[in-house]
Amino acid sequence: MGKFWDKIIKHSAECAVAALSVLLVYVAGQLAPIALPLVDALSNRVLLALMLASLLINVLLALLIYYVTRKSPLRLKYGIYWDTEKNPHCPSCQKPVATYDEYDAGWGYYCKPCGKVFPLADAAGNNKKPAEVVREL
């Protein structure tokens, strides 16, 4: 049922963005007869400065959006991926995993999407406790 509501919200947001886009185009069309004589009155030097300022602002906004929305890099340690905040992630699908606990398959992190338990173990197969691993990160 959660996926249904996620799709409803996504499509509602798409419709809202489409409606706002149409409204912006309409407003721009209404303002064009007023703005064009003002643009003609400006010198080429001022227009070039405005264009460069606009370009710089757009590049800065694009960089800001990139840095805000990018995923933090995951690091593999003892069979589990860890993010920069030391949160465990599934080694298969890289989604956050549940708490470290004892499950039917033994001690480990349970990944709900994969349906598997992933133990914390070193290269020799020795089990590790989450507190030990977090200290080493």
Low-confidence ranges of the chain (pLDDT < 50): none
Task: Report which of 62, 88, 63, 93 is spatially closest to residue 77, judged by C-alpha positions.
Answer: 88
Residues 41, 10 within the same domain: yes
pLDDT of residue 89: 92
Q: Are 7 and 46 contained in the same domain?
A: yes
Pair 73, 85: CB distance under 8 Å: no
Kindly state whether residues 39 and 54 are assigned to the same domain. yes
- What was the pLDDT predicted at 56? 98
Domain that holds residue 33: 2-69
| Exposure b/e, 104-131, CB count within 10 A at least 16 = b | eeebbbbbeeeebbbbbeeeeeeebebe
Residues 25 and 62 both lie in one domain? yes
Q: What percent of the chain has pLDDT over 70?
A: 99
Q: Same structural domain for residues 48 and 87?
A: no
**Total number of domains constituting the chain:** 2
Predicted pLDDT of residue 1: 62
